[in-house]
A and B are shown apart, each in its own frame.
Chain A
Amino acid sequence: MSTTPLAPAASPAPEASHAPGASPRPVAHPSYLGVDTTLRSWLLTTDHKRIGVLYLVTLLATMALGGFFALALRIEHLTPNATIVSAMTYNRMFTLHGVIMVWLFLIPSIPSSFGNFVLPMMVGAKDVAFPRLNLLSYWIFVAGSILVLLSTGIGGIDTGWTFYPPYSSISATAVPLALLGVFIIGFSTILTGLNFIVTTHTMRAKGVGWMRLPLFVWSIYATSIIQVLATPVLGMVLLFVVVDNGLGWGLFDPARGGDPVLYQHLFWFYSHPAVYIMVLPGMGVVSEVVASYARKNPFSYKAIAYSSLGIAFVGFLTWGHHMFVAGMSKFDAGAFGVLSMLVAVFSAIKVFNWTWTLKRGAVALKTPLLYIFAFLFLFVFGGMTGVATASMSLDVHWHDTYFIVAHFHFIMVGGTLTAFLAGLHYWFPKMCGRMYPERLGMLSAALVFAGFFVTFFPQFLLGNAGMPRRYFNYPPQFQVLHIVSTVGSWVLAAGLILTAFYFLWSLRWGAPAGPNPWGSRSFEWRTASPPPKHNFRREPPFEIDPYDYTQPLPDEVYQ
């Protein structure tokens, strides 16, 4: 792979002329940030870009909270017995860590923030199809999150993020409140997905056909289908657990003929596809970032686009692999195993496409691309261990151990979070009109990668040696690996805190970005940074493909 940056293309120089001098305001036309600056105008905005920013700020806060619980959990495991908290507090903390990270951060992470911000621009629209519904979706999300956080205040929940009955039906902790919170957040997920599906179908500008859509749109579209079709199933079973616990309805109570395993089936019918709600948008970010910095069209546009739909489809048929030890016929186990492995085929199609694009491209190494390298390595690692756990014979050994914990963190954090951070660096100039410091960005990317790997690789070894997940105590022979994992979590935290600091700094003191600092051909870069309220003041002709690097960059900025 060539790592020589194409100097003129990779530097902001060609576009710098659009930002005269060092003026903090790149254009005379007011940007979406400058149109109206009252608090009310932000909280009641229907501008998709502002809603994206609102989501982004909220999600960064929830991520910090989930991360705080994660650090506390790791510190607790520095010693084999009680270190800083009681066993009951430990149960509540790992539950809240899971609930917050899954529903308050990862599910909405990329679609609701970057999806909202760039998707309408990528299809050449002025806004999403239903802007008021979009705002409603944000406030529903906030309301649901508040309920979940309130449940923390009145005793937390101790069921684990999967809320398995019969325990969740009888747990004396704040189960009904937290589950209602998750149920309400589900509405927000559904409405956002619905909005994106309709926007992609009906709001595409003239010239933006399906095969000219930036690949990020394809991945968000596939994600939205899962959001719309899987979330209501979770909503239904959560409601029944709420009334089981709160009113004693006992639908999953074995004493009354209820079947707790049935809950698991329906829970995973949502929660396995939910993994693809989390990772597919990340794959969309990878496609954008790889093409922009490789300065080359993707090796196969169609393969990447259709494999997103393939993952969304097959994802609905794999839920049984979470239940290999819950009682399942050999035939079912075999079928679910093979179907689960199909996901790896679609994922591999993407990974080979990205790596080949990079190999053939002229790579400009910037922070977002560094995160993509981390993504590729960690995602392949997590994906291959996923294929291994999809076979029943191996899963019986690893089930409910740290091996599983390590596996899904490689996908959730190693995949989605690194892609989220890549997207944050990649689109930050578009959102704020300013650059982040490149060297610090690379340093923190290295810290995040190293910290992540040191945290979670030892957990594969722990799990394989038999360390069960969610246990408060552990045998002393596991202590060394636990300590390594905890130290890794500090490095990861250091990388993220550094990132937070330089982004805050860049908001005010970052160098002005210009409309297109990366020299990308994708549509969101053809307007000013930050963009005006209606994205493009004049509609661009969209004659050039979003990945066409064979022609010189069109000079015109449709601000």
Chain B
Amino acid sequence: MSSSIPIRPAEHFENLERQAHAARLGMWVFLATEVLLFGAAFALFATYQVQFPHAFKLGVEHNTKVLGSLNTGVLLLSSTLVATGVHALRAGHRKVASWLVTATIGLGLVFLVIKGIEYGKHFDEGIYPGGAGHWFAEHHDRGLAEFWTLYFGMTALHAIHVTIGACVLGALLSSILRGRLGQENAHRLEVGAIYWHLVDVIWIFLWPLFYLA
């Protein structure tokens, strides 16, 4: 661990406290945007589910509960680790924080691998977005095409968010390792962690919709 470089606020801020306040508020406003982005997708899902309850039930039953639930566990654990990492950094334990953030990123990758295995399974069975593939030759229920389109669309968008979140945490990890991020400006890690929690929370909603309902 390199020694700490003195940390000053950006020149247009009076002090670090105000800068931290601005960063936090900025992230929360951004989360509002994200919620509305996925909110639109959830509205689409809800409408189609009401129109085609039978097809959506078939689709959910076809998904592998174990993999979806395993992924839920992976993300929940990762969120816990990054939250602990923020506390560690605030307390001045840079080394602990850096390990916790590394583990979080690792779990994010595990999530993506499991998600990829699932996609591979669907493709093998002949399930593609838009009702393409031989699976749909045997399953004719109206609405199945829309279920799988929404499944691929929403989980892929979520996977993109996991990737972005992992990149953000990676950049913050590099800052910790280079001594630019420490106790005084721990808010930066906090802001990244808040984003990671959102990614987690969105999955908490996707999980029941696509695996349990």
* In the complex, chain B residues 1-27 whose Cβ is within 8 Å of any chain A Cβ: 10-12, 18, 21-22, 25-26
**B146 pairs with A231, CB closer than 8 A:** no
User: B36 within 8 Å of A by Cβ?
Assistant: yes
A85 to B131, CA, bound (A): 40
A528 to B162, CA, bound (A): 47
A257 to B55, CA, bound (A): 11
Q: Say how far A384's CB is from chain B's closest CB, in angstroms.
A: 32
User: B39 within 8 Å of A by Cβ?
Assistant: yes
**A201 pairs with B25, CB closer than 8 A:** yes
Q: Scoring A residues 246 to 282 as 1 if CB is less than 8 Å from chain B, else 0, what string do you get?
A: 0111110000111100100010010000000000000
**B26 pairs with A243, CB closer than 8 A:** no
**B29 pairs with A266, CB closer than 8 A:** no
A129-B26, A240-B153 known; A229 vs B146 contact (CB < 8 Å): no
Q: Say how far B32's CB is from chain A's closest CB, in angstroms.
A: 6
A70-78, A89-97, A190-198, A511-519: which lies at the B interface? Answer: A190-198
The chain B residue with its CB closest to the CB of A205 is B14
A232-B37, A266-B40 known; A249 vs B149 contact (CB < 8 Å): yes
Chain A residues, Cβ within 8 Å of B38: 236
- Name B130's contact: one of A201, A256, A262 (CB within 8 Å): A256
Q: Scoring B residues 145 to 165 as 1 if CB is less than 8 Å from chain A, else 0, what string do you get?
A: 110011001000100000000
The chain A residue with its CB closest to the CB of B29 is A194
Q: Say how far A153's CB is from chain B's closest CB, in angstroms.
A: 28
Query: Could you say which interface size class chain A belongs to?
Result: 35 or more
Pick the most buried of B44, B55, B153: most chain A CB atoms within 10 A of its CB.
B44
**B12 pairs with A248, CB closer than 8 A:** no
**A130 pairs with B26, CB closer than 8 A:** yes
Pick the most buried of B10, B29, B142, B143: most chain A CB atoms within 10 A of its CB.
B29
**B34 pairs with A125, CB closer than 8 A:** no
**B33 pairs with A251, CB closer than 8 A:** no
User: B132 within 8 Å of A by Cβ?
Assistant: yes
A127 to B30, CA, bound (A): 20
Q: Scoring A residues 485 to 515 as 1 if CB is less than 8 Å from chain B, else 0, what string do you get?
A: 0000000000000000000000000000000
A231-B33, A233-B37 known; A202 vs B22 contact (CB < 8 Å): yes
**B145 pairs with A198, CB closer than 8 A:** no
Q: Scoring A residues 162 to 199 as 1 if CB is less than 8 Å from chain B, else 0, what string do you get?
A: 00000000000000000000000000001000110110
**B150 pairs with A232, CB closer than 8 A:** no
A243 to B156, CA, bound (A): 13
Q: Scoring B residues 124 to 151 as 1 if CB is less than 8 Å from chain A, else 0, what string do you get?
A: 0000011110000000001101100110
User: B80 within 8 Å of A by Cβ?
Assistant: no
User: B66 within 8 Å of A by Cβ?
Assistant: no
User: B58 within 8 Å of A by Cβ?
Assistant: no
A240 to B41, CA, bound (A): 10
A228-B32, A230-B36, A266-B43 known; A194 vs B51 contact (CB < 8 Å): no
**B146 pairs with A251, CB closer than 8 A:** yes
**A250 pairs with B40, CB closer than 8 A:** no
User: A235 within 8 Å of B by Cβ?
Assistant: yes
User: A310 within 8 Å of B by Cβ?
Assistant: no
A203-B22, A240-B153, A259-B47 known; A232 vs B34 contact (CB < 8 Å): yes
A40 to B18, CA, bound (A): 30
A136 to B66, CA, bound (A): 41
User: A434 within 8 Å of B by Cβ?
Assistant: no
A195 to B29, CA, bound (A): 9
Q: Say how far B16's CB is from chain A's closest CB, in angstroms.
A: 13
Q: Say how far A228's CB is from chain B's closest CB, in angstroms.
A: 5
Q: Say how far A527's CB is from chain B's closest CB, in angstroms.
A: 15
User: A98 within 8 Å of B by Cβ?
Assistant: no
User: A126 within 8 Å of B by Cβ?
Assistant: yes
Chain B residues, Cβ within 8 Å of A24: none
**B145 pairs with A262, CB closer than 8 A:** no
Chain A residues, Cβ within 8 Å of B32: 228-229
Chain B residues, Cβ within 8 Å of A127: 12
Q: Say how far B60's CB is from chain A's closest CB, in angstroms.
A: 16
The chain B residue with its CB closest to the CB of A269 is B40
Chain B residues, Cβ within 8 Å of A228: 29, 32-33
**A262 pairs with B47, CB closer than 8 A:** yes
The chain B residue with its CB closest to the CB of A48 is B12
**B37 pairs with A257, CB closer than 8 A:** no
A248 to B150, CA, bound (A): 13
User: B52 within 8 Å of A by Cβ?
Assistant: yes
User: B207 within 8 Å of A by Cβ?
Assistant: no
User: A131 within 8 Å of B by Cβ?
Assistant: yes
Q: Scoring A residues 519 to 537 as 1 if CB is less than 8 Å from chain B, else 0, what string do you get?
A: 0000000000000001000
**A250 pairs with B145, CB closer than 8 A:** yes
User: B211 within 8 Å of A by Cβ?
Assistant: no
A203 to B143, CA, bound (A): 51
Q: Say how far B208's CB is from chain A's closest CB, in angstroms.
A: 20
**A202 pairs with B21, CB closer than 8 A:** yes
User: A142 within 8 Å of B by Cβ?
Assistant: no
**A249 pairs with B153, CB closer than 8 A:** yes
**A126 pairs with B12, CB closer than 8 A:** yes
- Name B37's contact: one of A203, A235, A240 (CB within 8 Å): A235
A127-B12, A248-B130 known; A257 vs B33 contact (CB < 8 Å): no
User: A237 within 8 Å of B by Cβ?
Assistant: yes
The chain A residue with its CB closest to the CB of B39 is A233
What are 9 inter-chain pairs, A to B, with CB distance below 8 A? A130-B22, A228-B33, A230-B36, A233-B39, A237-B44, A250-B145, A256-B131, A257-B143, A262-B47
Given A195-B26, A203-B22, output 15 extra A-B contacts at Cβ < 8 Å.
A130-B26, A194-B26, A194-B29, A197-B29, A232-B40, A233-B37, A236-B38, A236-B40, A239-B153, A239-B157, A243-B129, A249-B130, A250-B145, A262-B47, A266-B40
Considering the complex of A and B, which 4 residue pairs feature the smallest CB-CB distances, nearest first?
Answer: A232-B37, A236-B40, A249-B130, A126-B12
